[in-house]
Amino acid sequence: MTILSNSTPVTPQKPWKVSKKQQLPNLFLIAAAVVASFVIVAATPMKGKLAYLLLFFVIGTTFQLALSWYKRGRAAAADTVAGAVMMAGAFIVFLPVASLLITTIVKGSKGFRPHIFNHTMAATSYSDPLTSGGLIHAIIGTLFLIVIATAISLPLSILTALYLTEIKGKASGFIQFLVQAMSGVPSVVAGIFIYAAILLTTNLRGSTFIGALPLAILMIPTVTRTAQEVLNLVPNELREAGLALGATQWKTVATIVVPAARNGLITAVILGVARIAGETAPLLFTLGTSDKINWNPFSGGQNALPYYIWSGLRDGTEGGINRAWTGILVLLILVLSLFVSARIFGSRKVK
Amino acid sequence: MSMSSLLILTLIGLFLSVRGFQAFQTQGLGFITKVDWTAGVDGGKDSFGLGAMIIGTLVISAIALVIGVPLSVLTALFLTFYAPERIKKALVTLVDLMASFPSILFGLWGFIVLMPMAEYWAKLIHKYVGWIPLFKMPSPAYTRSPFIAGVVLAIMIIPIVTSVSREIFGQTPLDRIQAAYALGATRWAMIKAVVLPFGASGVVGGAMLGLGRALGETVAVYSVLNIVFKVNFQVLYGFGGNIASMIVGKWGEASLSESKALLAAGFVLFVMTLLVNLLANFIVRRTVKTGK
Amino acid sequence: MMSTVNSNNEENNGEDMSITTPSTSSLSSVAANHASQRQPGNAPLGSGLEARGIHAWFGKHHALENVSLDFAAGTVTALIGPSGCGKSTFIRTLNRMHEFIPSAAMAGEVLLDGKDIYEAGTDVTKIRLQIGMVFQKPNPFPSMTIGQNVLSGLKLAQIKSPKNNDDLLEECLTRAGLWTEVKDRLDAHAGGLSGGQQQRLCIARSLAVNPKVLLMDEPCSALDPGSTLRIEDTIGQLAQTMTIIIVTHNMQQAARVSDYTAFFLSDGGPGQMIEVGPTNEMFSRPKDQRTENYVSGRFG
């Protein structure tokens, strides 16, 4: 039992990492699987991308299975197959995301020209050539809807979140339960509810404001839950420090807790906006409609990006579908920028 | 202020049931069980039966779960235990991104891009396993079938089911994972022995949240489903039902009494999704809290 | 063997155990008994393990520096030292559990039967079958019954034991000193057992796959004194058939169970092995001043 003394410097290694050399047989197997799938597709009546992918997966996995069984036994073979199936599952999930993004960009860019940002559909019908008309009225409508829905839901959500995290009153459990229940309300139900409660009860007509109401309902649970998570991240020491200085609880919350969680609360609002920006169903019952810009949120119909897309889709003509894709592209750009900004703010939730 | 959610939920239930009361009153229990939906013209008698739509909603949601949940669980396992760090980050972002796509995008994409592909898959399914009653085709009408609507819904619920499953899998106690590895388990053997028993009820909860979404989905389903008031269990055959889309579809031309019946239909949908979501949240929270 | 002990003794054992004050003389006298019982190489089964120049890193942090230790077949070696000295890290490099920490890196060789377990192309699951591990906190699988827990290793690694399952079950539980307590409730869930029983169940679980070496990472730190004593008893029995390496904070425990003791220490930098020797010598006449300070209770 001796202690070896070694004066030469030792470098950290990761001997468990599979080296390039060890991956060679795998690469060879994958190449063989590709060749084999091409041969089989060529030799049999099977055809199409689906056949290539399926064959490649089956053959490749079989090869890997055989190799690991031969080298390490049954358990390792099962592990290999499980790994391959999981990777295939993740790949299948990845495909529609890629397809959705690519299709939107390819098809949407056809009608994505500068003039759509300063034209409306007032003098154009959906089936007209893409060179005429635009969707500026829908963009303005969507912005109006976002602002009004946020203005209504924000105080309700933040106060509910504060109640749940700061006061933790007797009703906390019940309110948590209600917020969860609310997050499951289908958007179409929110829409017909506002219709039943307001348009059917009073003699008001659909307008921007009425259209924003169901969106506010859909926004509340998202903002509340995110805000709650963020407020829970504020360290208790901060609260105690405030209270120890003799501040009341509300004063502590207003001057210490909320500012500390500011970025996170902004994230909560952004996520809420992202949740409603693309909502279509509720608007069909509450927004009325408009082909041109309507600056008055309380009277007259309004348009919105999802509504514009919906109209294009229902129009069904080539022009209509193309306009719908352009609308989707604009909407997606909006949603993606919300998503990215939520990430940026979310990465520094609490100061 | 914080009771606002109670107020809103109560108001939703109240207004929809009160406004739809006429339909419940004239149709009785038949509103849920009958399958034909005819608005009486010129003083004729209305007949509003939601049965086909309720069953249709359940059928396409079931298809969505059958396709979406296994894919989500596989993805969640891949992300938690197999994916290299960089791929993991990218995929998690993509799945989150997918959750933020508006449903009208799924509708348009489903109609233009997915429908032709899904039609081809449906033909393959029919060709090879068409003898199963579920996949029988009375005539070759493959478009706008419950199958296609189910595929679109499956894609739409994948983000929520994946992220709930991933969260649960990630909470598997490390000491149990290590115990399995120390006994010579491969990754898969460890997952089978430790992760799946631990995460099973969480996955069920996630699937229920997905179901809640699938039940209430409107425009995406409307774009790819041919809504007919007839019960259809032949999922590849080109017609089906969905309460939410039916409401939107009928709304434009509805008479006053039919509108009220549609509000009553909304009430039924509201109650269905409420129950499913509460159950889902109950299961998820119990799993997370107790850690089993 | 252990069958004379039954579960009723579990609480009483605390009284039987005399808690010795940490004085070097009493420790070395305890240790002397063991060293005379077992000599390296005399064990009927098991194989030795040899660590050569082991370094360990977590990211940039150098946690362990150049440790070389030879564990002879059929001996019990205790690794002692204050917290943060790298002894747990070291033991985890011995069955390749170290690599589960994403930032981990290492250098050096670990030889089992003369073959480096880190050699490229080695099947790590086979290594862990031969070098078992018992953890600090008892970690039976809660979704399995007691019986299933014992046999879980066979199922996890998809191997078959030469014995039939019932015999194997009895043998492993007996060797772990748990058979009499659980033989009537093998189908009960493992969660119903006490902490000490769970830990012995974990030992039985490791035994079922018939390892040559058993690593124990502070196996008694979460247990009461009575349970601790029984586990130590079990270790004594097991050492007749296998090589055991045990990390412990408890110097009395090291003195009671081990043939050899290695002392680890970190002076703020990476952990190092200061000294190793037969346990009675380590406690009676350590060569290094730091070892003496530690075993006489001046720090740690």
Q: Which chains touch C (3 or more CB pairs under 8 A)?
A: A, B
pLDDT digit string, tens, across residues A32-73: 888 888 888 888 777 677 778 888 888 888 888 888 888 888
Number of domains in chain B: 1
pLDDT digit string, tens, across residues C61-116: 999 999 999 999 889 999 999 988 999 999 999 999 999 888 999 999 999 988 89
Binding-face residues of B in 184-243 toward C, CB within 8 A:
184-186, 189-190, 193-194, 197-198
pLDDT of res. C61: 92
Q: Which residue has the higher pLDDT, A210 or B7?
A: A210
Question: Residue holding tokens 């207003």?
Answer: A254
Interface test with B, best of A57, A79, A100, A142 (most B CBs within 10 A): A100
Nearest-neighbour CA in chain B from C107: distance (Å)? 21
pLDDT digit string, tens, across residues C57-74: 999 999 999 999 999 988
Q: In the structure, what pLDDT confidence band is assigned to residue A218 with cuts at 50, 70 and 90?
A: very high
| Structural domain includes residue B47 | no
Contact predicate A293/A120, CB 8 Å? yes
pLDDT of res. C300: 61
The model carries a pTM of 0.87
Tokens of A210: 């009425």
Task: Report the CATH number at residue B100.
Answer: 1.10.3720.10
The whole-angstrom separation of Cα A120 and Cα A293 is 7
Q: In the structure, what pLDDT confidence band is assigned to residue A146 with cuts at 50, 70 and 90?
A: very high
Interface test with C, best of B172, B177, B183 (most C CBs within 10 A): B183
Share of chain A above pLDDT 90, in %: 44
Share of chain C above pLDDT 70, in %: 84
Which residues are CB-contacts of A41 (< 8 A; sequence separation ≥ 6)? Answer: A47, A51, A52, A55
In this complex, do A332 and B77 lie within 8 Å of one another by their Cβ atoms?
no
Tokens of A82: 């499980």
Does the pLDDT at position C1 exceed 50?
no
The whole-angstrom separation of Cα B37 and Cα B56 is 14
Q: Hey, CA dihedral for B21, B24, B26, B28, is it positive or negative?
A: negative
Backbone phi and psi for residue B37, each to the nearest 5 degrees, phi listed first? -130, 100
pLDDT of res. C121: 81
Q: Which contiguous run of DSSP H or E holds residue B70? A: helix B51-77
| Structural domain includes residue B133 | yes
Q: In the structure, what pLDDT confidence band is assigned to residue A348 with cuts at 50, 70 and 90?
A: low
pLDDT digit string, tens, across residues C7-47: 343 334 433 344 433 444 445 555 444 444 444 444 444 57
Does the pLDDT at position A324 exceed 60?
yes
* pLDDT mean over A213-217: 95
pLDDT of res. A251: 87
Backbone phi and psi for residue A343, each to the nearest 5 degrees, phi listed first? -60, -45
Q: In the structure, what pLDDT confidence band is assigned to residue B289 with cuts at 50, 70 and 90?
A: low
pLDDT of res. C27: 52
The whole-angstrom separation of Cα C255 and Cα C253 is 5
Q: Hey, CA dihedral for A331, A148, A154, B283, is it positive or negative?
A: negative
Question: Residue holding tokens 């039987």?
Answer: C16
Q: Which residues of B touch A324 (CB under 8 A)?
A: 108
| Structural domain includes residue B35 | no
| Structural domain includes residue B59 | yes
Paired strand residues for C243: C213
From residue C40, how far is each of A93, C50, C210, C278 by CA, in Å?
Answer: 58, 13, 20, 11
| Structural domain includes residue B97 | yes
Lowest-confidence pick of A91-95, A226-230, A343-347:
A343-347
Does the pLDDT at position C197 exceed 90?
yes
Closest chain A residue to B9 measured between Cα atoms?
A182
Q: Which domains does chain A have, with CATH numbers?
A: 23-109 (no CATH), 136-346 (1.10.3720.10)
B12 in contact with A, Cβ within 8 Å: yes
Nearest-neighbour CA in chain B from A209: distance (Å)? 17
Q: Which domains does chain C have, with CATH numbers?
A: 24-295 (3.40.50.300)
pLDDT of res. C10: 39
| Structural domain includes residue B283 | yes
| Structural domain includes residue B49 | no
Interface test with B, best of A189, A198, A334 (most B CBs within 10 A): A189
pLDDT of res. C273: 94
Calculate the average pLDDT of chain B: 89
Calculate the average pLDDT of chain C: 84
pLDDT of res. A27: 84
pLDDT of res. C215: 95
| Structural domain includes residue B202 | yes
Share of chain C above pLDDT 90, in %: 57
Q: Which residues of B touch A174 (CB under 8 A)?
A: 6
Q: Which residue has the higher pLDDT, B103 or B2?
A: B103
pLDDT of res. C16: 39
Which residues are CB-contacts of B223 (< 8 A; sequence separation ≥ 6)? Answer: A313, B107, B108, B110, B111
* pLDDT mean over A288-309: 92
In this complex, do B216 and A184 lie within 8 Å of one another by their Cβ atoms?
yes
pLDDT digit string, tens, across residues B242-258: 999 999 999 888 888 88
Does the pLDDT at position B185 exceed 80?
yes
Which residues are CB-contacts of A142 (< 8 A; sequence separation ≥ 6)? Answer: A277, A304, A305, A306, A331, A334
pLDDT digit string, tens, across residues C130-151: 999 999 999 999 889 999 999 9
pLDDT digit string, tens, across residues A3-13: 455 556 788 88
pLDDT of res. A272: 93
In this complex, do B189 and C158 lie within 8 Å of one another by their Cβ atoms?
yes
**What residue numbers bound the domain in which B172 lies?**
54-245+279-290
Three-class SS of B35-55: CCEECCCCCCCCEECCHHHHH
